Structure 1
């Protein structure tokens, strides 16, 4: 086998492998949808400290006796501040009951002078659900060993509170940093025709008619009345086509409506053309000879001389 043939076979095999694996990866990414949820001051940026300090005030938007640790003291690779445990609690205000959550965070033994490099124990919990955790041992005194951990739970109530609590001497308790929370959303509905209003490509089979009501109930005002030939037009099934032959058979051209409008305009014109100011008697005769049916509403002061024998109703 030549070198060119060998390379061609390898490329074909790799191409086939990619064809098989890419859809699976896409499915896994689709199934693992995570939505970031706000953790107030999760990076412990407030209050901001200078120098090497482990005794800053309790982090803003957190409750408990934990303290803020400066960047220089935390020695985090992301150059962010941290907090000591103690105990610290934060409320996830954007979370609703029933949500499946994952809290991610990083912990390390403290770098505080006088404390050993030993691993430190702590707990994390939400309500009655608690888990025992531990940091990894640091490579030496006053050296950090930051490691990420996770805590999954299902919210039993709206706005659950997450609590971290160190064990043992709080002064040498573990350091906490980079707290984040994610909501695990299930995959969306893959059926494009699902729901009350599917797209036109679905044929409208499941589309609900807002003007169809149960017997005895009133239709919304926007539905209006029913025209004379509407029932015949409704038998023309909707199609995704330009063929309107069915509607052409039953739809009218509006001629009857046009004739009625023209008739009204003619009557109004004759009425307005009467010379009512020249001769009162003639005005009476002309006014009474003009049919009033189909005329728009008018007031008595439309006449200079008001006929008494054929006085229209106001």
Structure 2
């Protein structure tokens, strides 16, 4: 059991974890392999044949090979785990990722196993943020090849561990849904459409390219002129996950989060509802439905229906 710590004690622990330097973990359970690469390419919509032809993995897959899974053993622990446990015990239970910077040294080759090495580098805070008072924790993971001990890739990762504000904890009592979307000039049109029962997808006002999520610039022609179109609200389930843990404010677990492919050519993320979890399958036809979460917020969700 981890006991609560004061701010000075948290910084002392951070110094001790940083002094450990780079701590190597256990080698990946499985070698880099073609089936996982094929699944990754399919999920990402990447049709580049060069990876499998050359026998290498997409660089962004580095973290995939050494993920420990839900049932982690003591051998899988890193200097970061004790720091995160201490922050949780001290009331900084909220977490949001703020930075992820990856550097690729070479391709991981099919057949080799990767070994993760974690270095805790910094704890900054306490700082007052829009989410609450918290600490920014930073660490770096480097993946080495078990064959030649060469670095394959590295990732700097930073999270904000914050203490949820009292107003957020009482949101259920006040009738306000605790997970409010960030609405700005790029996304306001989408949420206005949802309130009116319309599924609006951003389009380029010059070349007509559809894009989602919304953004300030067209990825095809680089134009900043934007418009939107109202789509049919029907699609098929491209992929999904069943969320069991951690608890999500305002939601009862487990629930399904899906990636829905629209016939108009874009994909959108949303909850799949009104369907037993065991009956959710990739490729099932879906249609959009709108659920009021509180006095102001309406969310688009997806329910089984003819495509």
The bucket for the TM-score relative to the shorter chain is under 0.3
What TM-score comes out, normalization by structure 1 length?
0.18
- Which has the larger Rg? 1
Q: Give the TM-score taking structure 2 as reference length.
A: 0.19
More strand by share: 2
